[in-house]
Amino acid sequence: MEANNSSALTDNRDELIRIIDSVLTQAKTMGATSAEADIGAGSGLSANVRKGEIDKLEYERDKGLGITVYIDGQKGNASSSDFSEAALKESVQAAIRIAQHASRDDCAGLIEPELMATEVPDLDLYHPWSISPEAAINLAIECEQAAFACDKRISNSDGSVVSTYSGINLYGNTNGFIDGWNWSSHTIDCTVIAEDKNGMQRDGWYSKTRDFNDLESINDISKEAVRRTVSRLGSRKLSTRQVPVIFEAPVASGLFSAFITAIAGGSLYRRASFLLDKKGEQVFANHINIREQPHMKKALGSAPFDNDGVATKARDIIKDGILQDYVLSGYSARKLGLQTTGNAGGVHNLVIESGQNNLDSMIKEMNTGLLITDMIGFGVNQVTGDYSRGASGFWVENGELAYPVEEITVAGSLIDMYKNITSIGNDVDPRGNVLTGSVMIDAMTVAGE
């Protein structure tokens, strides 16, 4: 694996800033009270192989500008992937025309200048990987072959993928703010199919990082893909019962994503949340602490400022089970009569505090119950908190994995589930924006046969 010393994106930065400045100036000239614009640009490569053959090789090179104008509370926006002067002018004109016909919204508009980010810390998010197409293809083939060599029950492959992307994000507004940062993301993914007398099962594993040097080895990725796939062979169904449940770390993040949606400004001002008016109240078990940490180096969810240009900052969202704060953009904060929390565009690195136990210890502690390793569908009612999703995993007896299970449904109420979390493992999955270990819940309904 070799690094990319190219500074093409960085070299483009001044030109992209000039473009943002130009469209903002045009917007003001054409009658906008205020305006904001953002640019995303980047390039990437993705090599997909299957059974040793190239399935797909894709190059990505894209760029886009979005312009939003405000005319005394009327809002209009337009976008363009063409950065020529004529195309950019037409985009500004289109945004102005839309705003002129829009209804007035007193909550629309730029964030107050004093809330804007005044500095942009380097969060170590940019590690371009100049891997050649041939090398990416060979790496994907190597990963797939390692999986086939791992276990004779691996009978087929659903493909192995090596992908890389590097880009730049820039944001500016007519309050004199223009800034941004470069970023990168790299993935190696392997999905295989296992077969024996009991039938076939499909599963896989992937590694995703900002820095290609931090990717898991081909050997580790293929071994984990095979282990997960083979372990599912001979899956059974379960009769309906109420038991303790462990959500393995990669699927546990969904529990907290539903929580963030419930405390997001859009859900709150529409009064479409099961956590409405719960600030200051106990919503999780009292040992649960959840913190937003936007400035973690190299993390996939890190950002120096949000989509409004507001500086991000570390803060407690849940402390000792009690809801400390909401997740608000500038617009949703105004709708609620509150102040932005720097979350336009979402949360940045939601860190769920881990306990001392690893997954094996949690399984022993549970003794009898269900370990969920995969989920199907999205069955969360954000208004009531009712939760029901298809799942597969393992039945646990005497603190050991007894046999794999599939075609089951787990159901409960998120309001109860959050309060009944008994432990959170130290097996944190770093591959996303929600950083949690496995989660054990005291009791849920498992529906099967």
Report the C-alpha gap between 439 and 366 in whole angstroms.
11
Residue type, 194: A
Q: What mean pLDDT, rounded, does the chain reach?
A: 96
Question: What would the two tokens of residue 122 be?
Answer: 């380097």
Report the C-alpha gap between 168 and 62 in whole angstroms.
11
pLDDT at res. 448: 86
Q: Tens digit of pLDDT for each residue in 336-364? A: 999 999 999 999 999 999 999 999 999 99
Paired residues of 185 in beta bridges: 165
The CATH code of domain 8-230 reads: 3.30.2290.10
Cα separation of the two ends of the chain = 49
Report the C-alpha gap between 284 and 424 in whole angstroms.
12
Provide the 8-state DSSP code for 72. Answer: T
SS3 content of the chain, % helix, strand, coil (to 5): 25, 40, 35
**Four-CA torsion 390, 271, 290, 293, nearest 10 degrees:** 110
pLDDT at res. 6: 38
Report the C-alpha gap between 319 and 315 in whole angstroms.
10
Name residue, tokens 């959500």.
247
**Four-CA torsion 89, 95, 97, 103, nearest 10 degrees:** -170
Question: How are beta strands 241-247 and 369-376 bridged, if at all?
Answer: parallel
Question: What would the two tokens of residue 71 be?
Answer: 């005319």
Q: Which residues contact 271 (CB under 8 A, 6 or more apart)?
A: none
pLDDT at res. 163: 98
- b/e 7-28 (16+ beta carbons within 10 angstroms → b): eebeebbeebbebbebbbebbe
Q: Let me know: does 437 contact 428? Beta carbons within 8 Å.
A: yes
The helix (run of H) or strand (run of E) holding residue 103 is none
Confidence class for position 11, pLDDT limits 50, 70, 90: low
pLDDT at res. 449: 77
Report the C-alpha gap between 404 and 207 in whole angstroms.
24
Question: Does position 229 have pLDDT exceeding 50, yes or no?
Answer: yes
Handedness of CA 302, 171, 326, 77 (dihedral sign): negative
| Domain residue extents for the chain | 8-230, 235-449
Taking only Cα atoms into account, the Rg of the chain, rounded to an integer number of angstroms, comes to 24
Confidence class for position 214, pLDDT limits 50, 70, 90: very high
| Distance from the Cα of residue 401 to its chain's centroid | 30
Handedness of CA 303, 304, 307, 313 (dihedral sign): positive
How many other β-carbons are positioned within 10 Å of the β-carbon of residue 377? 10
Confidence class for position 375, pLDDT limits 50, 70, 90: very high
Confidence class for position 378, pLDDT limits 50, 70, 90: confident
Residue type, 108: A
Q: Tens digit of pLDDT for each residue in 89-103? A: 999 999 999 999 999
Given phi > 0 = left and psi -120 to 50 = alpha, else beta, which region is 290? beta
- How confident is the model over 60-73, as a mean pLDDT? 96
